[in-house]
Structure 1
Amino acid sequence: MTIRSEPDRSRRDPGLDAIVRERRHLINLAYRLLGSLAEAEDAVQETCTRWYAMSRRERDAIESPGAWLTTVAGRVCLNLLGSARVRRETYVGEWIPEPLPDGTAADPADRVTLDESVGMAFLVVLESLTPAERVAFVLHDVFCHPFADVAEIVGRTPAACRQLASSARRRIRAARPSPAAPAGRSAGVVRDFKRAWEAKDIGALIALLDPDATAVADGGGLAATFPRPIEGAEQVARAWVELAHRRPGTTVLLERTVNGQPGLVARQDGAVVTVFAFDVAFDVAGDRIKRIWVIRNPDKLRHWGAVP
C-alpha cells in the first residue's frame, strides 16, 4: 500500500468517490470469495466502516483508496472464510452457495457480474479449497491482481501465494474433468428435463442424466428436502418423479437463469420456494446433466422474491 508523505488536503475525501466507484468490484470479489451475497454485503460494509474509522488525515495519506479497499475487503473475507468453516460444521444438511438471479440487486452498484466464475459448479469447487487457496486463486486468476498484492492480503510471501494459486488450479481441474456445455445447449437440456419432470417420465429423465449424476439439496434446517446427496441417474430420476407427485398444485416451474447458467425455479403462491442449478457436461454423444443443486433455504432465496 503506497502512502504519500504530504497529502493534498485541498481535495475532497477520495474514499467517498472510491467507495462509490469500487462498490460493485468489492461485491463481486466478496461474493466469489464467500459464496454468499449476504456475507459479501456484510464484508463490504465492514470494509467501508474501517475506512471511515480512520481520521481524515489518515485517509488523505492513502494514495490509492481503491487498492486499500480491495486489500481490506480481501482480509475481511479471509477471516470470514476461516470462521465459516467452523459454522458450516454445525449447518443442518448440505451447504450450497447462495444462488443468484439476473439483476440481483436494485442498485447496479450492488449487482454481481454473472460469468463463468460465479457458475454454481465453479463456486462449489471453490468451497473445497482452503481459505488461503481460495483468496489467492480468486484474486490472481479471476481478478488479475499480482501476487505481490495477494501476499499483502493473505500474509504470506508472493512465492507462497503463487503456490497457493497453483494448488487451487490443480484441485479445480481435478474436480471438473468434463467441460461445461455451451449455455444455449444447456438451456435445451434443462428445458427437456423440465418437460420430462412435469410429465413424470422417468425414462426421459434418466436419458438426460449422466449415469453418475448427483443431486444435492440445501434446506438449512428451515425447509424440507432430502437430507443426503442422491447418486446415480436412476435414483435421481425416481426422486424427481416422487417430487412431482408431492408438488402442490399451486407450484409452477419456470426456466430462469441461475448464476449465469440455465436453471429452474419453483414458485408457490407467488413466492420462489426452490431454485435448481444444473451442471450440464459437454459430450459429443449428447450433453447430459452431471449435477443438480437444489436450494430451499429461504435465507438464500431473499433475492428471488421479485423475480418475474
Structure 2
Amino acid sequence: MNSESLFETYRSRLFGLAYKLLGSRSDAEDVVQDAWLRWHQADRSAIRDVEAWLVTATTRLGIDRLRLARTERETYSGPWLPEPLTVDESPTPENRADIGSQVSFAFLSLLERLGPEERAAFLLKEIFDYDYAQVAELIGHSEANCRQMVHRARQRLQAERPRFEVAPDKHRRLLERFMHASETGDQASILALLDTNARLVSDGGGKVTAVIRPLEGAERIARLYGAVAARFGAETQCRIGYVNGEPAILRWYQGQLHSITTIAIDGDRITQVLSVLNPDKLHAWH
C-alpha cells in the first residue's frame, strides 16, 4: 500500500480526533492536512506503528492549534460555540448509527472548559479508549500526570452535566414544544419549559445580530424570544433536525440556514439553550 493510501486508511479517525479536540470543522481539516504533510516528509522506514505515529502527530498538532485558538477566542465577538460537524434535517436509517457515535454539540461545549492538554488526555482516554500509558506517550506527559488530568477533567465536566438523564424521545418532545413556543413568541409557554436559572448562549461571531454575552434567567430568555418572534417570526421557518447527532432546531431565514439551536435538559426543564448564528460556521449547509 502506498503512503497516500495508507494515510487515507486513518484519515477519518484522525479527523474525528482533531474535531473533538478543537470543536471546529475547519481547524480540524487544517490539522489533518498538517499531519499529512508531516507523514509525507517522514522517514517511513523508521515507523513501526503507523496508526500510533499518525495519532501522535495529530494529537500534538491539535494541542498546539488549540492553544492558539484559545488566544484567538479571547478577542472573539461574543461567546464562542463549537462549529457543527453535521447538520441533517432527516437522518436515514443508514446513517443513524453514525449519528449515534458522534460527540454531541452540548458535550463539545462542555469540553471548552478544559485546558488543551487536559482536553486531549480526557478525549484519548474516555472517547478513544486508549490506556494511560498510551495517553502519556501521545501527549508527552508522565502516566501519573495523565491520570490526574483525566480525573480533574471528569470532575469538572460532571459538575456541569445535568443531574438526571433524559430519554431521547422526551428530549425531542421538549425541543419541539420549545421550537413552537419560540416561533410564536409565546412567552408563557417558554417560561413553562425553562428552568428558572436557565442560560442562553448565542454565537454570532460579530457577523449577525446575537446576544453578545450569556443571558441568565428564564424571564429574560422568554422576553428575548418574544421580541424576536414579533420582529422576524413571519420571515423564518423552523424545523427539527440533527446537529452532531442530537436533536436541534434548524431556523431558516430568506432561504438560508440562519441558526441551529440545541438544548440541555435536567429533569423536566430546559437548563441551557445554545444557538450558533455565525454564518461562517453554517456556510457548509447554506
After TM superposition, the score normalised by the length of structure 1 is: 0.86
1:175 partner letter: E
For 1:249-292, what per-residue CA distance to the aligned partner results, in whole angstroms no more than 9, with x for missing partners?
332111111221111111122210111111122x2xxx221111
TM-fit CA distance, 1:81? 1.2
Aligned with residue 12 of structure 2, among 13, 24, 32: 24
Match of 2:243 in 1: 258
* Structure 1 residues 119 and 179: CA distance shift in structure 2, 3 A: farther
Aligned with residue 21 of structure 2, among 33, 43, 50: 33
Match of 1:304 in 2: 285
Match of 2:111 in 1: 126
1:173 partner letter: Q
Aligned with residue 130 of structure 2, among 145, 158, 166: 145
RMSD: 1.9
Runs of 4+, deviation exceeding 4 Å: none
Match of 2:93 in 1: none
Match of 1:45 in 2: 33
Match of 2:66 in 1: 81
Measure, in 1, the Cα distance between the counterparts of 2:88 and 2:137.
33
1 or 2, which has the higher helix percentage? 2
Match of 2:275 in 1: 294
Q: Kindly indicate whether the alpha-carbon contact (under 8 Å) linking 2:87 and 2:285 is maintained by their aligned counterparts in 1.
A: no
- Aligned pairs for 1:1-308 (under 5 A) are 12-13=1-2, 15-54=3-42, 58-102=43-87, 113-115=98-100, 118-247=103-232, 249-281=234-266, 283=267, 287-305=268-286
1:119 partner letter: S
Measure, in 2, the Cα distance between the counterparts of 1:103 and 1:237.
27
* Structure 1 residues 221 and 180: CA distance shift in structure 2, 3 A: farther
Measure, in 1, the Cα distance between the counterparts of 2:197 and 2:203.
20
For 1:102-129, what per-residue CA distance to the aligned partner results, in whole angstroms no more than 9, with x for missing partners?
469xxxxxxx954476222211111111
SS of residue matched to 2:234: coil
Measure, in 2, the Cα distance between the counterparts of 1:174 and 1:116.
23
Identity, in percent, stands at: 38
Q: Kindly indicate whether the alpha-carbon contact (under 8 Å) linking 2:35 and 2:58 is maintained by their aligned counterparts in 1.
A: yes
For 1:88-109, what per-residue CA distance to the aligned partner results, in whole angstroms no more than 9, with x for missing partners?
11111100111233469xxxxx
Q: How many residues align?
A: 279
TM-fit CA distance, 1:196? 1.4
TM-fit CA distance, 1:198? 2.4
Measure, in 2, the Cα distance between the counterparts of 1:17 and 1:60.
16
TM-fit CA distance, 1:301? 0.6
TM-fit CA distance, 1:183? 1.7
5+ unaligned residues in a row in structure 2: which ranges? 90-96
Match of 1:3 in 2: none
2:83 partner letter: E
5+ unaligned residues in a row in structure 1: which ranges? 1-11, 105-111
Measure, in 1, the Cα distance between the counterparts of 2:85 and 2:15.
13
TM-fit CA distance, 1:16? 2.7
TM-fit CA distance, 1:230? 1.1
**Bigger radius of gyration:** 1
After TM superposition, the score normalised by the length of structure 2 is: 0.92
